[in-house]
Amino acid sequence: MNTTRAACAPRELAGGLVLREACPGDLEQIGALLAARGAEEDALDHRLVVTDPEAGWAACAVVVDGDRVVSTATLLDEEVRVGDVRLPAGQVELVATDRAYEGRGLVRALIGWAHERSAARGHVIQVMIGIPYFYRLFGYE
């Protein structure tokens, strides 16, 4: 199976919601969601990632309800150095769900997307700098 393609295929979630790769038309809504649920500068960070040719739109996924972006997450390419060994790593960042859509498993689904994409990109480790308790739910330690 082509794992990169599998990681970017749209998938249907409960309630008619769809998880898919983000696209340029989502930019304003993603920025507004990140700013509303996190910090204003998250919208700028997101814009810098998706407009960076080395990352691009494929680094970001959204859950949409029709045309409305209701949840998002972004997978960054990182490198962890252990002595002289360089390990390709993934890092999930810029995570947010619209308040009206919380508790429906949208971020759990997006983290699943991110981990699939991470494996397809050859990452051998995941790094996380988010809220410790929350991300332990997704296998981080």
Ligand X SMILES: CC(C)(COP(=O)(O)OP(=O)(O)OC[C@H]1O[C@@H](n2cnc3c(N)ncnc32)[C@H](O)[C@@H]1OP(=O)(O)O)[C@@H](O)C(=O)NCCC(=O)NCCS
Query: Which two structure tokens, joined as six digits, stand for 48?
Result: 């810098």
Kindly tell me which of 35 and 119 has the beta carbon lying closer to ligand X.
Answer: 35
Nearest distance in Å: CB 101, ligand X = 7
Of 55-114, binders to ligand X (CB under 6 A) are 71, 95-97, 102-108
Among residues 41, 51, 79, 130, which is the contact residue for ligand X, using CB under 6 A? 130
Q: Are 79 and 91 in contact (CB under 8 A)?
A: no
Kindly tell me which of 8 and 95 has the beta carbon lying closer to ligand X.
Answer: 95
- Distance of CA 105 to CAs 1, 124, 127, Å? 26, 25, 21
Nearest distance in Å: CB 62, ligand X = 12
Nearest distance in Å: CB 93, ligand X = 8
Query: Which two structure tokens, joined as six digits, stand for 112?
Result: 């699943």
Stretch near ligand X under the rule CB under 6 A, chosen from 22-30, 39-47, 49-57, 127-135: 127-135
Kindly tell me which of 35 and 58 has the beta carbon lying closer to ligand X.
Answer: 35
- Distance of CA 136 to CAs 25, 39, 108, 129, Å? 33, 23, 12, 11
- Distance of CA 17 to CAs 22, 62, 105, Å? 14, 10, 11
Among residues 37, 47, 68, 121, which is the contact residue for ligand X, using CB under 6 A? 37
Please, which residues have CB within 8 angstroms of residue 82's CB and are 6 or more apart in sequence? Answer: none
- List of residues contacting ligand X (CB under 6 A): 37-38, 71, 95-97, 102-108, 130-131, 134, 137
